Chains A and B, each alone.
Chain A
Amino acid sequence: MQKILIIGATSAIAEATARLWAARGDALFLVGRRADRLQAIAADLCVRGAASVGCHTMDACDGAAHAAMFEAAHSALGGLDVAFIAHGTLPDQKACEASVEQTLREIDSNGLSVIVLATRLANTFEKQGHGSLAVISSVAGERGRQSNYVYGAAKGLVSLFLQGLRNRLAKRGVHVLTIKPGFVDTPMTAEFSKGALWAKPETIARGIVHAIDRRRDEVYLPGFWWLIMALIRHIPERVFKRLSL
């Protein structure tokens, strides 16, 4: 049985991932903004076989609330094997362009808040000498594109930060996983037309659990995004700037 903390537990990917852990009988602690949604998910995970499920209401952008959350998680789980950071928002790029405040808010919710949480978790894991920190970044963090560079910048910050953290913690037996999903069919993207590149949250979830089990460093989900992003990264900037991606 693993003791698992999930931050952003009401997101579609986090919920699908939690179901896989519940079926294995793991102990879970869910953190999210909405108490009623957390309760509904917790009840579901209990029926599916979770050893225990705790809930804590918190806004990840409220740094002052983090300490109390970690304390509650620690006392509910009695330790920590896996921390999974999955919260985030899908910014309206056009609105961000028109508003500095909104841009900074999005950078905070998708980037800075993750770094605040990861810093504390890294220290906990480093002290205990084991554990997995798994964080959802994005393929969007690999190259700035006109259609979502605010989101991309925040995710790029996360990816780079985790790279450094992995380098630091590898010597202490702590595992750091950077998860880079492509397009995911979630309530956030319900209105989009879904082509062949879209994946179900359940598919992403299986990839996440597998990557944590295998202590992978970085995963593209589904895996074909590795190839797509390798191509996109290698387009020369003088060409790339003329594209409309």
Chain B
Amino acid sequence: MSVATKARKLGLKQRYALMTRGLGWETTYQPMDTVFPYDTYEGIKIHDWDAWEDPFRLTMDAYWKYQSEKERKLYAVIDSFAQNNGHLGITDARYVNAIKLFLTGVSPLEYQAHRGFAHAGRHFRGVGPRIACQMQSIDELRHAQTQVHAMSHYNKYFDGFHDKTHMHDRVWYLSVPKSFFDDAMTAGPFEFLTAISFSFEYVLTNLLFVPFMSGAAYNGDMATVTFGFSAQSDEARHMTLGLEVIKFMLEQDEGNTPIVQRWMDKWFWRGYRLLALVAMMMDYMLPKRIMSWQEAWEMYFEEAGGALFEDLSRYGIRPPKYHEVAAKEKDRISHEAWGIFYNYTHAAAFHTWLPNEDEMAWLSAKYPKTFDKIYRPRYEQWAKMKAEGKRFYNNTLPQLCTTCQIPMGFTEPDDPTTICFRSSEYRGERYHFCSDGCKDIFDYEPEKYIQSWLPVHQIYQGNCGGAELGQVLDWYHINQGADNLDYDGSPDQQLWDKWMSDRKKAAS
């Protein structure tokens, strides 16, 4: 007699094993080394690819199920935001400039990440990391698409949203994020994962996608916070994989430790420099603020990162080199970056402004050691010059750091009043850097960084549309007189002020 029994459901671990490991095979027509030519040359030794663990144990079927649910929720909000004129609900149109910087500086990185993970996934012979990279590649494409869709609503009304990809490839400050990702994409697959999955996703993106997005919500931007948190729900998985790839490399072979440590040092500093843009977005571009850059740095790097590096110390890993320099800079980097953009606002695709009295009071309270002493007098002087009809513009092209490509405006670790300059000579040429961190990166791989496409050099070499600023801006596709210059007096401001006065009239 047989009794029909209900088929027992497989446990999470078994499902994961069958639906990832069960999908790989040893190649026979060609040797594995020929099929996967890139996963050994970086010096990382892997003895057992099956030791790779995906802690979330997500299989492709579950992945599609949850991702489609996320998309349905997200698109309901994006549609609703557009249908209900969501742009009228933001605190102030100055805020939109942070979103312009996001669309031109960050969204193209999502697309690059999509390409990068597709490439890295193809080149790992282990099926665990290959599937993790495949999911992440699809995630990143989703992020690029949903960001473009969400922000396209602002493009109907505001300037500077019209040509993100073209601008990303050409505009001077966008070479900062672009060159960061190009650097990662041209590395081997293990370095790419250390750069993006670990240093960027685990240690640093929290600072962009968590407090900044909460700030977007606080400023009434329902579309951005929704795509931000929808993307970040994937990032939580990416972060876990980032930590996993590090542990995997460290556990596989002792010889991997110094290689991994060097990559962590490099990519911490690369990512930290890139975050200067996020620092100023948080401290200057959110009309209503929830926390300062310094507070976010302390919460997400010093506390969360500190716990992480303490955990990794059992493998002989120490916190990334120059993290103590980042700690010294935490009460100045946002102010220095905003100062650079104020200087060059005529050459940017978004507007700048001087903080108003209330905002300066907030900055004084958040940065008691530095703001009143160093930055407030500077803003007061610039405000005075503007009132006299002599708005300060820096009309000389800046020297750029060869590694991070940011204009040389950062200061000495122990002296916030002196610009930090470092340089190295390589084959008879002198190269300049903003910091010891950037100099070290160059010195280790000079042949890579002497090829950098530095926007200022390219302008001087005649490769950017012409010798006049106007010609360069045309070549950037910056719509002059609309996209650039001060927020004060811009078409964006005029439109916003008209909406707000119409609202008052309608209410009276």
- A and B held together in a complex: no
